[in-house]
Chain A
Amino acid sequence: MPYMVDATRAIGRTTLRTVAAVGRFGHLAVDAGRALRKGSLWAPHLVGQMAKIGVASVPIALFVALFTGVVLALQAAYTFTGAVPQYFVGTLVGKTMLLELGPVLTGLALSGRVGAAIAAEIGAMRVTEQIDALETLAYDPVAYLVVPRVIAGATMFPVVVILADALGISAGLGTAVLRLDMSAFEFLKGLRLFFESWDVWFSVIKSASFGLTVTSVGCFFGFHASGGAEGVGRATTRAVVVSTMIILALDAFWAATLLK
């Protein structure tokens, strides 16, 4: 019986903590919306953040996409052997990269690279009172720190994902030609067969939402870090775990709402 009481208390505490965190996140989101008006504070930092969040993420995104494209082509050929015309390898690689693996794998990889870096940087600023110092110098820390990162994430993730999609499909093409005895013409025939330009937009919308998620969650946990180096570590871990979970939930949400 005491175990039941303990379990109920633990569930209650976790629920309260979660509700409080959602409330604080909502508060930060409202503050960030208001801070959009303060362009003089965030605009000068936007290009730097776009380079840091977007351009610097290209190598890891391309690395993930390269091997994803290769594996997709090989597994498609293995699955289709004897049953489905081989040019469907191109269809599967193209559709899967654009609709699912390009945005999701890039989003997950970048939640580790970008989300963790943002949470650690802002968390370190919080525990060393640098955010308080910004406040005392009459800087709105949300406008100064959060807004440029979130805008950079929402705009640069799609660019990185489109590059990753393109490389993944190219890697699939290369694999088909070099390992599967297919011609490039066959692969491209399959790729074009069910191609819809909407698929590209779907990839862009998804990746923009992932960019928004990764950067805003990173900022949120960094902003609320406390307790020195250990607290920064905790904030960083939580940022990655929570943004990963939200990315997977958003993935299902977009599939359910936009693919009809």
Chain B
Amino acid sequence: MSIELFDVEKAFGKTQVLNRLTLTIHEGQTVSIIGGSGSGKSTALKHMVGLLRPDDGEVYVDEQNVSRLDQESLYQLRRNVGYVFQFAALFDSMTIAENVGMGLKRMPDMSGDAIDQRVSECLQMVDLEGTAEKLPSELSGGQRKRAGFARAIATRPKYMLYDEPTTGLDPVTTAVIDELIVRMSDELGVTGVVITHDMKSAFRISDRIAMLYHGGIRFEGTPDELRMCEDPVVKGFIEGRPKLMRLAP
């Protein structure tokens, strides 16, 4: 059970976003994907759940070719995948409890009581007890993000995809989210892919880190290997030194 991208290419109009991207995320691992804005990180993530289809190349999740699945098989696969959106993507017209329970309603054999019970558990996990009956507009940005996290984990997915889960959060909430990501992996064996700009988070939560550059992989390795990497593009990015990145061939 892993996520594999082989030579994936994707262009929007004349802009080539992914350029023969090959990446494997092994079972139980948490892999962070880092890279500058527009390097194709979110695009890569969306391919893993079939929200985008590659122009060329193949994407496998659970040994199933995502881009060739029919609609029903794709929905079946998605029941095993939790997706945390960059801006939470909560449904405006629903309460937080209804949002968190949305995925559970699609699960077979889930009674109303079981859904309520699981929603409470998930809200408790992200420290959002007492917000169940509120609308997303009544929550702060950080709370909305945590509610989005609760919605993604509610169905106990085998895979978790996080699109910038800590961007815009205060350091304490960031630590809480990081801890949750680590727990998902360590205690539940969830395979995770995290898109992030937050290097501190990336070092804290990742088994491996991959850096995207111009739509392809520039670096892939453990956090320690990343720290020691001498590639000026990689070093310049993680140290926030754009001049160093410009020295790269």
When C-beta atoms are compared, the residue in chain B nearest to A137 turns out to be: B103
A130 contacts B by Cβ under 8 Å? yes
Number of A-B contacts (CB under 8 A): 50
**A153, chain B: closest CB distance, angstroms:** 19
- One of B22-30, B76-84, B176-184 contacting the partner: B76-84
Interface string of A123-144 (1 = CB under 8 A from B): 0110011101101111110000
Of residues 34 through 74 on chain B, the ones whose CB sits less than 8 Å from some CB of chain A are 46, 49-51, 71
Residues of the B chain whose Cβ atoms lie less than 8 Å from the Cβ of A140 = 71, 75
When C-beta atoms are compared, the residue in chain A nearest to B85 turns out to be: A129
Asked if B102 and A137 make an inter-chain contact with CB atoms under 8 angstroms apart, the answer reads: yes
Among A124, A125, A130, A137, the one with the most B-chain Cβ atoms within 10 Å of its Cβ is A137
B203 contacts A by Cβ under 8 Å? no
Residues of the A chain whose Cβ atoms lie less than 8 Å from the Cβ of B51 = 132, 135-136
Asked if B87 and A128 make an inter-chain contact with CB atoms under 8 angstroms apart, the answer reads: yes
CA distance A250 to B76 in the complex (A): 41
Asked if A138 and B92 make an inter-chain contact with CB atoms under 8 angstroms apart, the answer reads: no
When C-beta atoms are compared, the residue in chain B nearest to A142 turns out to be: B71
Q: Kindly identify which residue among B71, B76, B86, B106 contacts A137, using a CB–CB cutoff of 8 Å.
A: B106
CA distance A71 to B81 in the complex (A): 61
B91 contacts A by Cβ under 8 Å? yes
Residues of the B chain whose Cβ atoms lie less than 8 Å from the Cβ of A130 = 89-92
Of residues 21 through 47 on chain A, the ones whose CB sits less than 8 Å from some CB of chain B are none
CA distance A157 to B51 in the complex (A): 34
When C-beta atoms are compared, the residue in chain A nearest to B107 turns out to be: A138
Asked if B85 and A138 make an inter-chain contact with CB atoms under 8 angstroms apart, the answer reads: no
CA distance A153 to B246 in the complex (A): 57
**B22, chain A: closest CB distance, angstroms:** 24
Q: Kindly identify which residue among B86, B106, B151 contacts A138, using a CB–CB cutoff of 8 Å.
A: B106
Of residues 99 through 128 on chain A, the ones whose CB sits less than 8 Å from some CB of chain B are 124-125, 128
Asked if B85 and A133 make an inter-chain contact with CB atoms under 8 angstroms apart, the answer reads: yes
**B17, chain A: closest CB distance, angstroms:** 15
How many A residues face the partner with a CB closer than 8 A?
A: 13
CA distance A132 to B75 in the complex (A): 12
CA distance A137 to B83 in the complex (A): 8
Asked if A138 and B87 make an inter-chain contact with CB atoms under 8 angstroms apart, the answer reads: no
When C-beta atoms are compared, the residue in chain B nearest to A124 turns out to be: B92
CA distance A120 to B221 in the complex (A): 45
Residues of the A chain whose Cβ atoms lie less than 8 Å from the Cβ of B75 = 138, 140
Asked if B71 and A136 make an inter-chain contact with CB atoms under 8 angstroms apart, the answer reads: no
Of residues 131 through 168 on chain A, the ones whose CB sits less than 8 Å from some CB of chain B are 132-133, 135-140
**B45, chain A: closest CB distance, angstroms:** 11
CA distance A125 to B89 in the complex (A): 8
CA distance A194 to B91 in the complex (A): 53
Asked if A136 and B49 make an inter-chain contact with CB atoms under 8 angstroms apart, the answer reads: yes
Asked if B85 and A132 make an inter-chain contact with CB atoms under 8 angstroms apart, the answer reads: yes
The verdict on A129 contacting B89 (CB below 8 Å), with A136-B78, A138-B78, A138-B79 known, is yes
**B162, chain A: closest CB distance, angstroms:** 12
Q: Kindly identify which residue among B50, B79, B91 contacts A133, using a CB–CB cutoff of 8 Å.
A: B91
CA distance A223 to B102 in the complex (A): 20
Asked if A133 and B89 make an inter-chain contact with CB atoms under 8 angstroms apart, the answer reads: yes
**B218, chain A: closest CB distance, angstroms:** 27
Asked if A135 and B91 make an inter-chain contact with CB atoms under 8 angstroms apart, the answer reads: no
CA distance A136 to B82 in the complex (A): 7
Residues of the A chain whose Cβ atoms lie less than 8 Å from the Cβ of B50 = 135
CA distance A71 to B82 in the complex (A): 60
CA distance A165 to B85 in the complex (A): 48
When C-beta atoms are compared, the residue in chain A nearest to B79 turns out to be: A138
CA distance A128 to B82 in the complex (A): 18
**B206, chain A: closest CB distance, angstroms:** 22
When C-beta atoms are compared, the residue in chain A nearest to B163 turns out to be: A129
Asked if A133 and B83 make an inter-chain contact with CB atoms under 8 angstroms apart, the answer reads: yes
Residues of the B chain whose Cβ atoms lie less than 8 Å from the Cβ of A139 = 102, 106
Residues of the B chain whose Cβ atoms lie less than 8 Å from the Cβ of A133 = 83, 85, 89-91, 151
When C-beta atoms are compared, the residue in chain B nearest to A31 turns out to be: B71
Asked if B89 and A128 make an inter-chain contact with CB atoms under 8 angstroms apart, the answer reads: yes
Closest 7 CB pairs of A and B: A129-B89, A133-B89, A136-B83, A138-B75, A137-B103, A138-B106, A138-B78
18 contacts between A and B (CB under 8 A): A125-B91, A129-B85, A130-B89, A130-B91, A132-B51, A132-B83, A133-B83, A133-B89, A133-B90, A133-B91, A133-B151, A135-B49, A135-B51, A135-B78, A136-B78, A137-B151, A138-B103, A138-B106
